[in-house]
Amino acid sequence: FSSEYGGKNQPIIAPSDMEIMEVGNSAVIGRNIRAHATINGVKYTYRFIHLSDTSVEKGQKVKKGEVLGKMGDTGSSSNGYHLHFDIWKGHTADLSSSSQRYVKSVDPLEMCYLAKDQIVGEDTDKKYNIMRAK
């Protein structure tokens, strides 16, 4: 990534209005944020993982475009600095069941704005080697 669009300590921006449900730190997922959003009447849960820093607190209401934290490599991160970003349909607190995670999972590329040099589709995968859960 170029320094303008990614890499160490780049700001992580809220993709929509949301409420912060949890700000945590664990050995596996590192510094992380779980948030709830409702877009056009549909409820979603977001999770931002491996952050180097967070700038929000539990219970805080965040507007689209506000900074949530910084890209990092905390926890069991073997890919260097990156953002692991999950989206699920529904407001949920229990993310421990992998079967439920994948049933409700939403491709973040379907909901996010990408940098001007990024192309959605096969070219994005080839250019940035985006990893998706199977």
Residue 88: pLDDT band with limits 50, 70, 90: confident
pTM of the model: 0.76
Looking at residue 59, its pLDDT comes to: 98
Q: How far apart are CA 115 and CA 37, in angstroms?
A: 22
CA dihedral defined by 49, 52, 58, 64, rounded to 10 degrees?
-80
What average pLDDT is seen over the chain?
Answer: 78
The residue count for the chain: 134
Rounded distance, CA 91 to CA 2, Å? 34
63 vs 92 pLDDT, higher one: 63
Compute the average pLDDT of residues 81-99.
Answer: 76
